[in-house]
């Protein structure tokens, strides 16, 4: 599981959705920027949790092909990913609260 975000570059002709010129085509690609990166990170955390659960079940059923060490590493990866996701969520809620409390 790799939670590092790669830097993205936007061509000069691509603008955020709210800043599109009237009559100009929408940018190619379904999701770009922060929302796409956040969605892919959440999907990878979910996949890591599902993998850890599957390995844990296999160890409990005494499957000789699955080692306890491999299972424990998968569980730790899932836990770290979840904690990172929780911190990002808390930061986003705090930023939203700060913006809502700004004087206009």
Count the helices and strands in the chain (H runs, E runs).
2, 0
Higher pLDDT pick, 93 / 12:
93
Whether the model clears a pTM of 0.75, i.e. scores above it, the answer is no
Closest to 66 (Cα-Cα) out of 78, 77, 54, 80: 54
Tokens, residue 71: 């299972």
19 to each of 26, 34, 35, how far by Cα in Å? 11, 16, 16
pLDDT greater than 70 at residue 22: no
pLDDT greater than 50 at residue 13: no
37: buried, middle or exposed (CB in 10 Å: 19+, 13-18, 0-12)? middle
What does the domain layout of the chain look like in residue ranges? 34-100
Indicate the average pLDDT of the chain.
80
CA distance 57 to 55: 5
**pLDDT tens digits along 53-93:** 999 999 999 999 999 999 999 999 999 999 999 999 999 99
**Which residue's entry shows tokens 């969605």?**
39
Tokens, residue 103: 């004087």
Q: Which of 19-23, 84-88, 97-101 has the lowest mean pLDDT?
A: 19-23
């Amino acid at each position: 599981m790799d939670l590092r975000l790669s830097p993205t570059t936007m061509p000069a002709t691509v603008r955020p959705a709210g800043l599109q010129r009237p009559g100009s085509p929408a940018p190619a690609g379904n999701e770009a920027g922060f929302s796409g990166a956040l969605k892919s990170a959440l999907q990878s955390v979910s996949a890591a949790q599902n993998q850890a659960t599957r390995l844990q079940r296999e160890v409990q059923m005494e499957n000789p092909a699955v080692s306890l060490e491999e299972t424990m590493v998968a569980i730790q990866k899932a836990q770290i990913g979840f904690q990172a996701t929780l911190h990002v969520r808390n930061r986003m809620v705090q930023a939203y609260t700060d913006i809502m409390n700004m004087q206009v």
